[in-house]
Copies of this chain bind each other. A is one copy, B any other.
Amino acid sequence: MSDIVLHGYWRSGTSYRTRIALALKGLDYDYRAVDLRAGEQHGETYRALQPQGLVPAMEVGGDVLVQSPAIIEYLEERWPEPALLPTGPVDRAAVRGMAAIIGCDVHPLGNLRILKYLTGELGQPPESVRSWVNRWIGDGFAALETLIAKHGGAFAFGDRPGLVECYLLPQVYSAARFQTDLSPFPKLMAVAERALADERIAAAHPDRQPDADGETK
């Protein structure tokens, strides 16, 4: 049994993001699936860990950490090597900025509770929900394509996978579910494909989690 327990859901982008960070750090952890479709995240037990009722949450020692950006920064501070961030402050800001484009301006608009609200409260049909998601993915990926051209090498920043890949791969996975046209983003997609070929990263994929059910995406 590991000192780290990750509460997550196979297909949640923020859970996937955290799994990649743990994998790149080479950290073992126990995975506890929270069944989002059954509403387990809204139960008292889970909300005592995470008051928003959102995944992931990470237990370490006796502490509970919430919010994947905070969890990943914690992993970086606590286990600095291999590093997810480069060394100099300006480079670190560039990497954090690229991650935040996804973390703040793309992912939040396409997660489960938002899609449910669009479909439910706002009565939007599936094609309208798909246009919504694709608009924000497209805008964010266009900016990332420019920044990868500026900072990238084999990966989004330089020649090692790191923080940007943690955020990027789950968003590419989500884009595939929504049939986003990814042809305008060749550099971004080359980075994503290269990252997915890394066995550590591949093991964090949704389809390889114990709670993956293999249903049609």
Indicate whether A43 reaches chain B with its CB closer than 8 angstroms: no
Binds B, one of A21-29, A98-106, A179-187, A201-209: A98-106
Structural contact, B135 and A67, CB atoms closer than 8 A: no
Q: Is B100 in contact with A139, judged by CB distance below 8 angstroms?
A: no
Q: Give how many copies assemble into the complex.
A: 2
Number of interface residues of A (CB under 8 A): 49
Would B92 and A74 count as touching, CB distance under 8 A?
yes
Expressed in whole angstroms, the minimum distance between the Cβ of A116 and any Cβ of chain B is 11
Interface string of A129-163 (1 = CB under 8 A from B): 00110010001101100110000000000000000
Across the interface, do B128 and A122 meet the contact criterion of CB distance under 8 Å?
yes
Q: Kindly identify, within residues 82 to 109 of chain A, every residue whose CB is under 8 Å from any CB belonging to chain B.
A: 89-90, 92-97, 99-101, 103-105, 107-109
- Residues of chain B lying within 8 A (CB to CB) of residue A78: 89
Contact A96 B69, beta carbon cutoff 8 Å? yes
With A52-B143, A74-B92 as known contacts, state yes or no: A105 contacts B108, CB within 8 Å: yes
Closest Cβ of chain B to A68, distance in Å, is: 8
A96 surroundings in chain B (CB, below 8 A)? 67, 69-70, 73-74
Contact check, B114 vs A109: say whether CB atoms are below 8 A apart.
yes
B67 touches A100 (CB 8 A): yes
Q: How far is the CA of A62 from the CA of B175 in the complex (A)?
A: 35
Are A52 and B139 interface neighbours, CB within 8 A?
yes
Chain B positions within 8 Å of A63 at CB level: 90, 93
A72 to chain B, nearest CB (A): 9
Nearest CB on B from A124, distance (A): 7
Q: Is A55 an interface residue (CB 8 A)?
A: no
Chain A residues in the interface with B (C-beta under 8 A): 51-52, 54, 60-61, 63, 65-71, 73-74, 77-78, 89-90, 92-97, 99-101, 103-105, 107-109, 114, 117, 121-122, 124, 128, 131-132, 135, 139-140, 142-143, 146-147
